[in-house]
Amino acid sequence: MSLDAHGTAISLIEVGALLLGLSLLGRLALRFHLSPIPLYLVVGLAFGTGGFLPLSESDDFFELGAEIGVVLLLVMLGLEYSAKELLGGLMKSKLTGFLDAAFNALPGAALALLLGWGPIAAFALAGVTWVSSSGVVAKLLRDLGRVGNRETPVILSILVIEDLAMAFYLPVLSALAIGAGILQGSITLVIAVGAVLVILLVALRGGNMLSKLFPAQHAEPLLLGVLGLTMLVAGLADKVNVSAAVGAFLVGLALSGPVAQNATRLLTPLRDLFAAIFFLFFGLTTDPAAIWPMLVPALALATVTMATKLASGYLAARRAGIQPLGRWRTGLSLTPRGEFSIVIAGLAVGAGLQPELAPLATAYVLITIFAGSVIARFPDNTWFRTLVVRRHGAPETRPTTIVSGI
């Protein structure tokens, strides 16, 4: 066997073993109604840089798979909304979005400045703490049977605002992280934001025409076409420092109708596979030894920002006329952070920004997902309902509003 063939065989063994392990851990997470994301990160930490059994032959596969995972996560997120719904939700919930950003981004920025990381790292950590995990939150709503609850539209509106904000935040972060001079950085930033606005305009005005390019009822050409367009736009977006993730998100926004619905169905298994690889790769490239010094700051940051997310969600639900128990469900459901927090940290570290961001973000995401998945269940317990009734004086009636699309 040649050396190349031997390396290929080892790579296949490593990839196969890790994917099989992720499958078993995913099954374990389902058994306990938890998100598998923290388990994927832990596996990556165990078998990556500084782990107890580092694997190296499969690095290239997982690196490319992680890039594809980010692209698929974001295009699927875009497919859940139409551009009009997204912008309409933003206009109706501007104050809610502002409070959400202020409450949850400022603690991250403050910690980075206290650690002496500088303003650009502060901007990055602000994004890590700001954005809830759409995937984890949606799973919680399904698992806990809350899709039809009155507070669910409030939760969705907050997630929508955060997702749209990321379309502008990520290119700004990319431009800042490059570290170019003021003039060059400003030009890069203008190009990046301009590209986002152009793609949004295309999504609003020409989304139906774009969707007509793909045969909605024929799986193979639809899958190849949507995947190809997504990769193409993501790559072009990355070239102008918009970030591949934002380009993919905007492609998802631009597609609508049966094309979007069928593409979602076809892409979901691919998204799940490569998203798992993305979280695994982030763990593989993070040294576990670097997490220990960041564990106390991550725990403190998680405690503060889970409280601020609870507060901003509670206030948003109260403004929407939701009863007290629903307000608590709103805030508690939004506490987990996940995919965007890891994307932001990966983008910042990849651009040569503060290397401690990766271990801090890893620990932070692990804590918020585990703790958030537990505390989101509190409102279903009798003791919690009793406390709410004592505090507010009136029990909540059963929810009747049905919300689809989660």
φ, ψ dihedrals at 58, nearest 5°: -100, 15
Answer yes or no: is pLDDT of 334 > 90: yes
Residue 84 lies in a domain: yes
Sign of the torsion formed by the C-alpha atoms of 175, 281, 140 and 312: negative
Global pTM? Answer: 0.77
Residue 200 lies in a domain: yes
Residue 405 lies in a domain: no
Which range marks the domain in which residue 106 is found?
3-392
| 70-74, 121-125, 163-167, 214-218: range with highest mean pLDDT | 121-125
Under DSSP, the state recorded for 111 is H
Q: Which residue has the higher pLDDT, 322 or 85?
A: 322
pLDDT at 141: 83
Please, what is the Cα angle at 278 between 303 and 339, to 5 degrees?
35
- What is d(CA 190, CA 196) in angstroms, rounded to the nearest whole number? 10
pLDDT at 228: 92
pLDDT band of 38, cuts 50, 70, 90:
confident
Residue 399 lies in a domain: no
Q: Average pLDDT over the chain, rounded to whole?
A: 82
- Residues in the chain, how many? 406
What's 72's domain CATH number? 1.20.1530.20
pLDDT band of 68, cuts 50, 70, 90:
confident
Domain count, the chain: 1
Under DSSP, the state recorded for 49 is T
Answer yes or no: is pLDDT of 203 > 80: no
Mean pLDDT of 3-22: 80
Residue 404 lies in a domain: no
pLDDT at 185: 58
Answer yes or no: is pLDDT of 258 > 50: yes
- Which tokens is 200 given? 């949004």
For the chain, the straight-line distance linking the first and the last C-alpha, in angstroms and rounded, comes to 50
Answer yes or no: is pLDDT of 374 > 90: no
- What is d(CA 108, CA 104) in angstroms, rounded to the nearest whole number? 7
- What is d(CA 7, CA 4) in angstroms, rounded to the nearest whole number? 5
H helix runs in 32-93, sequence order: 37-47, 59-79, 83-92
Q: Tokens 């980010």 map to which residue?
A: 70
pLDDT at 201: 74
Residue 361 lies in a domain: yes
Answer yes or no: is pLDDT of 102 > 80: yes
